[in-house]
Every structure is written in structure tokens, then in C-alpha cells.
Structure 1
Amino acid sequence: MSSSQTSGSIDEQAAATGFSLGAELVTCRSGYAHHGIYSGNGMVIHYAGFAKSLHRGPVEEVSLAQFAGGHDVTVRQSPAARFSGPEAVRRARSRLGEDRYRLLTNNCEHFVSWCLFGEARSHQVRACFVHPRVAIQAVKGLVQAYVAAERRRRASALANNGSGTALAF
């Protein structure tokens, strides 16, 4: 899926590619992969975590376009999943609003793993401990994401202020 598509075409693409209910969706970000559960009708349940800013976010249901954040979305096949389809979505919805995100112990990948397998685990976190180079790349990606989010926040503050001076917070 091209990052230049509009949200309408992303939803059409979801229907065309046949994302199945309860499928694990993955979008690669700068230095890490972001995970969610496809809940149908162009919607995804995910642990927002640091996907939008440095302030952690809760488990939420968002449009496929919001989940993608301008990045390609792929389906990770999980034939050994203990829970699938409507049951995986039910499990994901049972945690909507939860706000206990922790990068190393309760992130978006832990959440999706719990929805599908009943066990919270993160291959990305494990890889960071086993391969320090992976950890360095992840930290670099998170810093880049933070800088980009700060630039967006400041540009928004300037636009909302209208005077061309930054707002003091």
C-alpha cells in the first residue's frame, strides 16, 4: 500500500486485499514495527503507545489510515494463533481504553500477541536485548519519531496562534 494514498483509498485497499477480521496488521516505522488487530470496516485496534507522540497513548480503535500513519501496512500471518477472527477482536476490544503502555513490557506487539496467543510477548524487545545493534537502531528511530512529532506540535501551535510566535506551555 502506497503511503501517498488517501484514507478512502486505504479503506478500499483493505477491502480489496481482504484483511480478515482479527488479522495482525503491521506498519514499519522509523526503527520499529507498529502492530494492531484489524477489527473490520476499515478499523484497527492498537496500543497507541508512542505512535503519535512522546506521551503514551491508550488502547484505541482507529481508522486504518490513522493506524498506517502514512506507512505501508502488511498482514502478519499467524496460523498457530490460539484466538482468531471475532474472538481476537473481542479480546482486543476488552482492553479498549487501557492506559498502561510500557515500552519494554506492555507495548503494541505485547498487546497483539496477547489478543492472538493469550500470551504477551514482543520479538522486537527480545531482539534488542539479544542484538545491541537492533536496540541502537530502535532508539535512533524513536528519537527521529520524537523530533518529527515535536516539529508537528510546534507547527500546529504556530498555526493555532496565528501570530507567528510560538505558544509557551
Structure 2
Amino acid sequence: MPLPQSGDHLVSPRIGYQHHGLFLGDHQVIHYRGVSAGERSGQVAITSLAEFCQRQGYHVQHHGMRTYSREESIDRAYSRLGEAHYSTLLNNCEHFVRWCIDGFHYSKQINQLIATGCIAHQALRTVARQPTLAALPGMATSTALNPSATTAVTAAVGVLLGSSATSLAAPLAATYGLYRAWRWFRD
């Protein structure tokens, strides 16, 4: 894989999210270090490309229209070097890189998480409002899931996972997790 150009937006996959950084050249990346980085966790720092990738590889996120040139983006990144105002939801590594390049804070992955949480929350509310029906003779009652509620739950999980979910158990379990995350975020 050829080296990226100075000022490129790098994205490295992680389990459950993607890590973002701005390539400075000479195998160096400036980014918000994760909370597991020890003493310098949650700070804007310069690390090697290898340390940034953590053996996960990377790809270049292209920006069709950049507000700031590559050089200006690098200057903006340096202006925040050492900053320690990391917030997963409000000021993360993606927010940082997009600010350097486009001039505004934006995180697509956080917006998708929030949208998925909203869909999941609505799906759970729909499921909870379903009437209680008698189960098989001699068994306790159970809550019925109508097709629209099942579709809403499956769609919420599909948005998160990037594929359609087919079994009902997996979407409900994942939706419950999203619902709990959404409640934690709201509180």
C-alpha cells in the first residue's frame, strides 16, 4: 500500500468503531489518543503510523471539497497538539480530523449511533405497546410482536450492523443493548 499524502484523513478499523487521524508525512499521524493510551490518553498527540493503526491497517477518507488545504489542515491540527478535551460523543478523533479539514465538528459514526439508538428506542416502545395474547393452551400469556414492530427492530439492528438481521432473538438482544446505551447517553 502506498503511503498517504500529507494532510490525508486516515481511518483505521477497530472493534465496534473506526479511529481517525491526520497524516503529517514521514510516517507520523496526529490524532486524539484513546482512553487506553495511559498517561497521554484523551490527548491530541503525534504518533507513528504503525502505532496509529495498531496492526489494523487504514484507508484514506477522501474529501471532495476541502475547506482548508492540506498544509492549513496540518497547521490547524498542530494548534490543538496536547489538547486533552476528548469526549466520545462530543469531541472525538473523527470530530478532530473533520475540524482540521472542514472547519466544523462532525462525527458520522456518532450520528449513526444516535440515529440507530432512536430507531431502536422507537421499536422497543412499539413492541412494548403490543397487546398480550394467550399463548398455547395451558401456558402463560406472552407479548405478541406484530410484523411492523419486528421490522422496526430488525431495521434498527441492520442500520448498526450494515446488514439485514433475520432472526428475532439477535435483533432484540442487540436492540436492548442499544436501548441501554441510549438511556445511559440521555441520563
Give TM class, smaller chain. 0.5 to 0.7
Matching of residue 60 in structure 1 with residue 51 in structure 2: no
Q: Which residue of 1 aligns with 2:164?
A: none
| Cα deviation, residue 57, structure 1 | 2.1
Q: Which residue of 1 aligns with 2:25?
A: 40
Q: Which residue of 2 aligns with 1:106?
A: 91
Cα-to-partner distance string for 1:42-65 (whole Å, 9 max, x where unaligned): 000001133646x84200000000
The structure that has the greater radius of gyration is 2
The 5-angstrom pairing of residues 74-85 of structure 1 reads 74-85=59-70
| Cα deviation, residue 72, structure 1 | 1.2
- Aligned mates of 1:32, 1:68 — CA distance in 2: 13
Q: CA contact under 8 A between 1:23 and 1:84: conserved in structure 2?
A: no
Cα-to-partner distance string for 1:117-154 (whole Å, 9 max, x where unaligned): 000110111001111343969x89xxxxxxxxxxxxxx
Other structure's SS at 1:62 match: strand
| Cα deviation, residue 19, structure 1 | 0.9
Other structure's SS at 2:104 match: coil
Structure 1 runs (4+) greater than 2 angstroms displaced? 49-53, 132-137
| Cα deviation, residue 86, structure 1 | 1.1
- Aligned mates of 2:11, 2:85 — CA distance in 1: 21
Structure 2 spans left out of the alignment, 5+ residues = 118-156, 162-173, 179-187
Q: Which moved more, 1:75-84 or 1:113-122?
A: 75-84
| Cα deviation, residue 83, structure 1 | 1.1
Letter in 1 for 2:49: L
**Identity over aligned pairs, percent:** 37
Residue of 24, 31, 34 corresponding to 2:16? 31
Matching of residue 127 in structure 1 with residue 116 in structure 2: no
Residue of 76, 83, 96 corresponding to 2:81? 96
Letter in 2 for 1:128: L
Q: Which moved more, 1:44-53 or 1:28-37?
A: 44-53
Q: CA contact under 8 A between 1:24 and 1:77: conserved in structure 2?
A: yes
| Cα deviation, residue 73, structure 1 | 0.8
- Superposed CA RMSD: 2.5
Q: Which residue of 1 aligns with 2:6?
A: 21
TM-score (structure 1 length as normaliser): 0.67
Q: Greater relative contact order (Cα 8 A, min sep 6): structure 1 or 2?
A: 1
